Structure 1
Amino acid sequence: MNKFFGILIIGIVLFGCKQKSATENAREDTIGFNQELANELENMAEIDQLVASNAFPPENYSYLTSEQWKIFKDSVFLRNQKRAKEILNTYGFVGFDLAGEKGSRNFWLIVQHSDHNPEFQKEVLKEMKKEVDKQNAISTNYGLLVDRVNLNTGHPQIYGTQVTYNINNGQAYPKTLMDSINVNSRRKSIGLEPIEEYLNGMSEMHFEMNKANYLSKGITEPTLYITN
């Protein structure tokens, strides 16, 4: 009797191992360049960028009121996030191997703008870190998402990538930041430039986007940080 149960237990263990191996192999088989997914992410990112970069209805949407445009923007972010969740559940974080560097970046971009669901962003961060460690995702984008999640969940940012602006001189400065003295060493560890250079770039971009307003105040250029 004992011999029979011993054989039975061994059989169950071997069957379980075989099933696990089959499941893992099935998942590995799904990891290959997926052009259809890459195309879908490109389309999703295109509409994401349209709504993210326009506070008011652009020309093609001039028939919408400001309130209607805001509702439309929110619907785009929500729809993209729901689809991104489905993709995450199927593939994990979209790496270079699955959709190319552009496709991977597009997936990250959609997650970055899913501020209405920080728990989803946190879930993506865990999966993205695995791909970054394998050099299968963009490490600098990982840093941007870390900061986004931290701020969205009431914590200071780590890398200083999320900024706001001094409306009197156009200068960018980081939102709540942990240990600002050592921020550049943390930024360097993931491939980001020194924060002074980053903030200057953001300041210049912000100034150009709002140039007419600043010129009306007599401000002809943004105030920049001193760099080495």
Structure 2
Amino acid sequence: MENMKGNLVNIGLILLVGLLFLTACFKIARAPGVEVRTVNCDELPTLLDSVHKQDQIVRTDHSISFRETVNKDYENLSTVVSILESCGMPGLDQLTQTQFNAIWMVLHHSPESQYMKKYFPLLKEAKEKGDMRPGDFATVQDRVLMNKRKPQIYGTQISRGRLYKLKDPEYVNQRREEVGLSPIEDYLRFFDIDFEVEQKVK
């Protein structure tokens, strides 16, 4: 009987610790949400300079916690969504390349994939106008395909330490060259991933 009581107490403690852990995880992962605000369209360069700086800081400063990164990503996403809703997609006649890049990079890093999907047509139009570089658009296109669980085209997306599934991998370097990207072997070397598919040209 004593052993049974002891076992029940131990099980209760384990369940309590597990519940507290799950509660803590939920608090950390809980999304702050996107807040659409009124934006002064004359201030886009300043706004996007700040967004670009913050987006890069949370990805290079390893002292920043996961929760802080998520919060900053939502803050930046709120700014970019507010810009696109209030001002439309600005071009290089209004912005520098770095400022424009902040828009697609924030959408690319967004914790919520529906915003990338929603504004993908605007990014495609920007690419066709020459505002968005083909290689950058290729990265966005691959992310959209990955979010749909479809094979990527250019091999820009890594998932769980591996190259995400790739359409016709034997032709990937030809496709990458067409949009100004380096050979996939060089790209994957940064992630310590080997790529040994023999390349062909159509």
Query: TM-score, with normalisation over the residues of structure 2?
Result: 0.67
Distance 1:93 1:54, change over 3 A: same
Q: Which has the larger radius of gyration?
A: 1
User: What corresponds to 2:171 in structure 1?
Assistant: 182
Offset at residue 224 of structure 1 (A): 8.4
> Where does 1:47-126 land on structure 2 (aligned, <5 Å)?
47-57=54-64, 69-114=65-110, 116-126=111-121
Offset at residue 98 of structure 1 (A): 2.1
Offset at residue 163 of structure 1 (A): 2.5
The whole-number CA distance in structure 1 between the counterparts of 2:103 and 2:128 is 18
* Residues 184, 195 of structure 1: 8 Å contact kept: yes
Offset at residue 165 of structure 1 (A): 7.9
Q: What RMSD over aligned residues (CA atoms) do the two structures have, in Å?
A: 2.8
Offset at residue 47 of structure 1 (A): 1.4
Offset at residue 91 of structure 1 (A): 3.3
Offset at residue 80 of structure 1 (A): 1.0
The whole-number CA distance in structure 2 between the counterparts of 1:48 and 1:179 is 33
* Residues 187, 193 of structure 1: 8 Å contact kept: yes
- 2:131 pairs, out of 130, 133, 136, with 136
Distance 1:138 1:91, change over 3 A: farther
Offset at residue 95 of structure 1 (A): 2.4
Q: Does 1:148 align with 2:137?
A: no
Distance 1:187 1:134, change over 3 A: same
Structure 1 counterpart of 2:49, one-letter code:
E
Give CA deviations for 1:127-174 in whole Å, capped at 9, x if unaligned: 1111111112221111111112222232221110123586xxxxxx52
> What are structure 2's unaligned runs of at least 5 residues?
1-40
SS of the residue aligned with 1:99? coil
* Residues 105, 138 of structure 1: 8 Å contact kept: no
Give CA deviations for 1:205-226 in whole Å, capped at 9, x if unaligned: x7xxxxxxxxxxxxxxx97879
User: What corresponds to 1:60 in structure 2?
Assistant: none
Q: Does 1:46 align with 2:35?
A: no
Give CA deviations for 1:45-84 in whole Å, capped at 9, x if unaligned: 2111121234543xxxxxxxxxxx2222111111111211
In the alignment of these two chains, the number of paired residues is: 159
Higher helix share: 1
Identity score, percent? 26
The whole-number CA distance in structure 2 between the counterparts of 1:196 and 1:124 is 31
User: What corresponds to 1:61 in structure 2?
Assistant: none
Structure 1 counterpart of 2:114, one-letter code:
E
The whole-number CA distance in structure 2 between the counterparts of 1:41 and 1:52 is 17
Structure 1 counterpart of 2:51, one-letter code:
M
Q: Which runs of 4+ in 1 moved over 6 A?
A: 222-228
Distance 1:227 1:194, change over 3 A: farther
* Residues 52, 99 of structure 2: 8 Å contact kept: no
* Residues 118, 153 of structure 1: 8 Å contact kept: no
